[in-house]
Amino acid sequence: MNSYQYLMSDINKINGIGIKTSKLLKKKNINTIFDLLWSLPRNFTDRTNLVKINELQVNKIQTVTVNVVKYYFPRLRNLPNKVLCEDHTGKLECIFFNSYEGYIKKILPLNTRITISGKVNYYKNKYQITNPTHLSSDTNSIKKIFPSYSLTEGLTEKKYNKIVNYVLKNIPDLEEWLDEEVLRKFNFISWKEAILQLHDPKNLKKNGNFLSRLIFDEILSTFLINSKVRTAIKKIKKNKKKFNNDVIQKIKKKIKFKLTFDQLKAIDEINKDLKSDKKMFRLLQGDVGSGKTIVSLIAANNVINSGFQVCFMAPTEILANQHFNLARRLFNKNIKIDILTSKTEKSDRNRIIYDLNNNITNIIIGTHSLFQEKIKYKNLGLIIIDEQHKFGVRQRKRLSDKGGNNCDILVMSATPIPRTMIMTIFGDMDTSIIRNKPKNRQDVKTYSKLDNKINEVIKFVKKQLLLKNQVFWVCPLIEESKKIDHKSSVKRYEELKRFFNNKVGLLHGALPKDEKNKILLDFLNKKIDILVSTTVIEVGIDFPNANVIVIENANKFGLSQLHQLRGRVGRGEKESFCILMIKSNLSENAKKRINILKSTNDGFKISEEDMKLRGYGDLLGFKQSGLQSFRLADPIINEDLFLLADKEVKRIELKNQNLKKYLPLLKLYDRADILNDIV
Ligand code: ADP
Ligand code: MG
C-alpha cells in the first residue's frame, strides 16, 4: 500500500477501531485516516498539576494521588460501582458506570497509591470523579498535557486520543510537492511535520509556519485544479467570431442610459475573447442591479452577427420573459428570437426545436429546459447562463464540453464576494467585474424600525402609493417551518388588505408555479402595488417601479441575503427605501448586521463584513458551488496565502510545469471530485 492509499483508507483499518467506533466517527464525517488528521484538538487538558483532595476544584479536570480504601459493589444492576479513596486531607469517591468489578479491582487495587485524573464533582459532602480517564501508579505517566478533541457521544476522550495518537505515529512521509522557493517561506516544514505540530498540544491556538504551510497546501490544491480546467479549456481552438462595432452603436441608440465604464470594459473583454481563436470561459460578476443583462445581450448580438446561434439560460420563467422582451426591443427585426420554458405548448415546442436544429432561430432564451437532450443546436456559438450560483467547477466543465468547440461560455453572477473567493470558486474561469453601479442609481435609503411601530410603516407605505410607487413586503422567515412562514405571510396579507384593499398580492413558496407567475406579472404591470411574500423574490427580476422594500424580522436574515433582498428596489431613478423591522432585544451580532446594512450599499463590502461575522462557510455561493469548504483556510484571514498561491499557480502555468509532482497533493485535497475528469 502506498502512502496515499494508506491515508485514504477507511478508518476501520486502524487498529482498535471496531464497527461501533467507526460508525461514531463516520457520523462526524470522518471516513478516512486523512479525515482524522483534521479533527483538531479544541483544547488541552493539563494534568501536570497535582493537588491534594482538599484543594480539588469542582467541574475541572484535576489530577490527584490517593490511597485506595474500600469498594462498594451494589447488587442492583443500575447502581454504579464506587471506590472510596483518600489522602491525608480528605476523601474522594471514584464512580464507575458500566465497569465490571474485576476490572475495577485491577485498576484500583486496595491499599495502593494511585494517581487519578478526571473531572471533579462534589456530591453529598464528598468529592467524586466519575469514570476517571487516567489512572496509574506511575504519577509521571499522567503528568502530561493531553490534547482534548471535541467528542461524539459514545466516544471517550481517552479512546479518541489513542486513535489520533496511533494515526499520528503512522503518518507516512510524502514526497515534497512544494517548490523550494515557497517552502522557504514556511521554514522548510514538511507536510508531515506540519500535521504533527498541528496536533501538538503545545501549539494549540497558535499560528506558525506549520499552520501556514497546511493552509497554503489547501489553497494551492484548489487553485491548481482550477488552473488545470482553465488551461484545458484555453487549449481548445475555435473559429474566431467576426463582427464590428455596429451592434453596440445601434443598441446604444435604443437605450435611455449611458453604459458605465465598467460595463464598457466588460464588453471589451468579452469581445476580445469572442474574436480570439480560443474558447471563452468567462464569468461576468456584478452586484444586483449593476447592469449585466445589457452587456450579455450585446455579446449575444455580436455572436449572432458573426453567424452563430446563442443560447441564454435564465433561472426563472419571469426572468426569461424579461430578457426575451428586452432582446426583442434591442435587436434588429431580422434576428429570430425564441423563448422556451416549461410552459411552452407542445406544438410550439416542436417548432422551436426544429428551428433551432435548422439554424432558423438565432437566439433562444429560456430556463433549464434549454439543456434537454432533445434540443440540438445547428451552430451554437455562445451559451449565457444568468444568475447561476449552483454551478460548481464540475458542472461548468460539463457545460463547456456540451456546447462544442466553437461555443463560448459566459456565466453571470450577482454574488458579490471578495477576490480570494472568486479565485477559489470561479478560478477556472476568466472574470470581468462590474464594480460600480450606474451613476443615476441612488443608494437605497435604509432604516430600521421596531416592529411595534408597524403603523408608522403602513403610513409611510400609503404615502408611497399616492406617489404611484410600488412596495415589496417581505414576511418573517421562520426557519423551523415553511408552514409557519406561509401562515405569517397570509396573516400579514390579510391585514394589509384591510388598509389597501385589492392593491395587495401574496406570493409564497407553496403556490403553484403558474399562480406565482401571474402574481409577479400583476405586480410588474401595476395591477397590484404591494407584493407580500416570503423570500421567493430573491432572484434577479427587474421591477423598476418598486422603490420600497419592507423586511419583517430583518434580524433573522443573514447580511448577504438582506443585501440581495434590498437589491430588488433602487433599480430605477426614484429615491428608494428599505425598512428593516426588528425587535427591541437584538443580539450584538444582529445589531452589527443591521448597522452594516444601514451604512453601505456596496455588495462587496457587505459580503466581506458578512464573512467576518459568520465565517466564509455559509456565504451565499460557496455552499452552493459544490465545493467542500476549506478545512483550515479562510479567505479573509488568510488573504496573503491566497495571493501567494495565486502567484505560485501562475508561475507553474507560465513554465508549463508538469503537475505530476503535485499529484499527491491534488489527490489528497480534491475538494470537488473533479480530478478524474481532468487528469
Ligand atoms: P443585474 O446586473 O442585476 O442583472 P440588470 O441588468 O437587470 O442588473 O439591470 C438593472 C437595471 O439597470 C435595468 O433596469 C437596466 O435597464 C438598468 N441599467 C443597466 N445599465 C444601466 C446604465 N448604464 N445606466 C442606467 N441604468 C442601467
Ligand atoms: Mg440580472
Q: Which whole number is the average pLDDT over 108-132?
A: 88
Question: What average pLDDT score do residues 151-155 get?
Answer: 65
- Asked, for residue 257, whether it belongs to a domain, the answer is no
In the reported structure, the alpha carbon of residue 263 is separated from the centroid of ligand 1 by a whole-number distance in angstroms of 10
Q: How far, in Å, CA of 367 to CA of 341, rounded?
A: 5
Q: Which three cell numbers stand for residue 476?
A: 418573517
Q: Which of 293, 324, 433, 547 to mutate to test the pocket of ligand 1 (most atoms within 8 A of CB)?
A: 293
Residue 113 lies in a domain: yes
- Chain centroid to CA 501: 41
> Distance, CA 343 to ligand 1 centroid (Å)?
27
133/123 Cα distance (integer angstroms): 19
Residue 561 has pLDDT above 90, yes or no: no
Pocket test for ligand 1, best of 288, 313, 542, 547 (most atoms within 8 A of CB): 542
Q: What is the CA radius of gyration of the chain?
A: 32
Q: State the CB neighbour count (10 A cutoff) for residue 38.
A: 14
Residue 289 CA to ligand 2 centre (angstroms): 7
Tell whether 467 is covered by a domain: yes
State which ligand 1 atom lies nearest to the alpha carbon of 571: 11
**Tens of pLDDT along 302-344?**
999 999 999 999 888 888 988 999 999 999 999 999 999 888 8
| C-alpha closest to that of 69 among 119, 121, 97, 109 | 109
Considering the chain, what percentage of its residues have pLDDT values greater than 90? 40
Q: Which ligand ends up closest to the CA of 571?
A: 1
What is the pLDDT averaged over residues 208-230? 92
Q: Could you identify the atom of ligand 1 that is nearest to the CA of residue 440?
A: 25
Q: How many CB atoms lie within 10 A of CB 307?
A: 14
> Are 426 and 333 contained in the same domain?
yes
Selection from 511, 489, 493, 509 nearest residue 501 by Cα:
493
Distance 171 CA to ligand 1 centre (A): 55
Higher pLDDT, 550 or 502: 550
Whole-number Å distance, alpha carbon 569 to ligand 2 midpoint, is 13
What amino acid occupies position 73?
Answer: F
Give the CATH number for residue 332: 3.40.50.300
CB 417 within 8 Å of CB 425: yes
Q: For residue 523, which phi and psi values (nearest 5 degrees)? A: -70, -45
Residues 593 and 451 in one domain: yes
Per residue, the 3-state secondary structure of 190-209, as one string, reads: CHHHHHHHHHCHHHCCCCCH
Beta strands at 113-123 and 126-130: parallel, antiparallel or unpaired: antiparallel
Q: Which of 484, 526, 527 is nearest to 508 (CA)?
A: 484
Asked whether the predicted pLDDT for residue 480 surpasses 50, the reply is no
Taking CB atoms and a 6 Å cutoff, what residues make up the pocket around ligand 1? 257-260, 263, 286, 288-294, 414, 438, 440, 540, 542, 544, 571
In this structure, the answer to whether residues 463 and 551 fall within a common structural domain is yes
Please tell me the number of the ligand nearest to residue 264's CA. 1
Q: Which of 577, 600, 623 is the last residue of a domain?
A: 600
The pLDDT of 337-361, averaged and rounded, is: 91
Residue found by looking up cell 473533479 in the block = 674
Predicted confidence (pLDDT) per residue in 644-670, tens digit: 999 999 999 888 888 888 988 988 887
Domain boundary among 403, 434, 465: 434
Cα–Cα dist 486/509, whole Å: 8
Contacts (Cβ under 8 Å, ≥6 apart) of 10: 22, 31, 32
Residue 364, classed as helix, strand or coil, is strand
Give the model's confidence band at 620: pLDDT under 50 very low, under 70 low, under 90 confident, else very high: very low
592 domain-assigned: yes
Q: For residue 535, what pLDDT band results from cuts at 50, 70 and 90?
A: low
Question: Of 404, 434, 464, which residue sits at a domain end?
Answer: 434
DSSP 296-336: HHHHHHHHHHTT-EEEEE-SSHHHHHHHHHHHHHHS-TTS-
Can you tell me the distance from the alpha carbon of 675 to that of 667, in angstroms, rounded to the nearest whole number? 7
Least Cα distance to 446 among 310, 259, 598 occurs for 598
Number of domains in the chain: 3
pLDDT confidence bin for 414, thresholds 50/70/90: confident
Q: Are residues 449 and 562 in the same domain?
A: yes
Strand order in the sheet with 530-533: 445-450, 577-582, 546-551, 470-474, 530-533, 504-507
Say whether both 125 and 82 belong to one domain: yes
Q: Which of 248, 251, 257 to mutate to test the pocket of ligand 1 (most atoms within 8 A of CB)?
A: 257
Task: Give the pLDDT score at 45.
Answer: 67
Q: Which of 479, 615, 603 is nearest to 553 (CA)?
A: 479
Closest ligand 1 atom, residue 258 Cα: 23
Is the pLDDT at 292 greater than 60, yes or no? yes
53 CA to middle of ligand 2, Å? 69
Whether 632 is in a domain gets the answer no
In this predicted structure, what is the pLDDT of residue 424? 86
Rounded-to-integer distance, Cα 550 and Cα 481, Å:
21
Domain-located, residue 38: no
Q: Which of 171-185, 204-218, 381-395 has the highest mean pLDDT?
A: 171-185
Residue 383 pLDDT class (50, 70, 90 cuts):
very high
Closest CA to 155 of 39, 287, 284: 39
Say how far apart CA 588 and CA 175 lie, in whole Å: 48
CA 159, CA 170: separation in Å to the nearest integer?
17
Range of the domain at 463: 445-600
Distance from residue 566's CA to the centre of ligand 2 (Å): 14
4-49 pLDDT per residue, tens: 888 988 988 887 788 888 888 888 788 899 988 887 766 666 677 7
Alpha-helical runs (H) found in 368-415 = 393-402
CA–CA gap between residue 314 and residue 365 (Å, rounded)? 7
Residue 146: the pLDDT is: 64
Cα torsion through 672, 220, 431, 387, rounded to 10 = 30
Say what the pLDDT of residue 380 is. Answer: 92
Angle at the Cα of 94 from the Cα atoms of 93 and 97, rounded to 5 degrees: 130
Q: Are residues 408 and 514 both part of a single domain?
A: no
Asked whether residue 479 carries a pLDDT value surpassing 50, the answer given is no
Which range among 360-369, 415-424, 607-616 has the greatest average pLDDT? Answer: 360-369
CA atoms in the 13 A half-sphere facing the CB of 62 = 23
C-alpha cell at 254: 435604443
Question: Residue 67 sits in a domain of what CATH number?
Answer: 2.40.50.140
Q: Are residues 498 and 407 in the same domain?
A: no
- Report the pLDDT value the prediction gives residue 539, as an integer from 0 to 100: 59
Residues 319 and 400 in one domain: yes
Enumerate residues with CB within 5 Å of ligand 2 (an ion). 540
Average pLDDT for 45-61: 82
Amino acid at site 202: K
For residue 336, how far is its CA from the centre of ligand 2 (angstroms)?
Answer: 22
Nearest-5° Cα angle at 576, 256 to 260? 35
Neighbours of 350 (CB within 10 A): 12
Closest-approaching ligand to the CA atom of 290: 1
Do both 424 and 320 map to the same domain?
yes
pLDDT band, residue 250 (cuts 50/70/90): very high
Residue nearest (by alpha carbon) to ligand 1 atom 23: 259
Ligand nearest to the CA of 294: 1
d(CA 177, CA 659): 10
How high is the pLDDT of residue 150?
63
Q: Name the band, by pLDDT with cuts 50, 70 and 90, for residue 542.
A: confident
Residue 263 lies in a domain: no
The pTM of the full predicted model, rounded to 2 decimals, is: 0.72
Please give the grid coordinates belonging to residue 61.
Answer: 479536570
Distance 619 CA to ligand 1 centre (A): 25
Mean pLDDT of the chain: 85
Other beta carbons within 10 angstroms of residue 370's beta carbon come to: 21
Take residue 172 and report the three cell numbers written for it: 507516512
Of residues 313, 285, 602, 296, the one with CA closest to residue 415: 285
Does 513 share its domain with 392?
no
What SS3 state is found at 223? helix
Strands 309-313 and 504-507: unpaired
- Whether the per-residue pLDDT at 243 is higher than 60: the answer is yes
- Say what the pLDDT of residue 371 is: 76
| Lowest mean pLDDT, pick from 267-271, 294-298, 478-482 | 478-482
Contact in structure between 111 and 74 (CB atoms under 8 Å): no
**Both 298 and 374 in a single domain?**
yes
212 lies in some domain:
no
The reply to whether 410 and 510 lie within a common domain is no
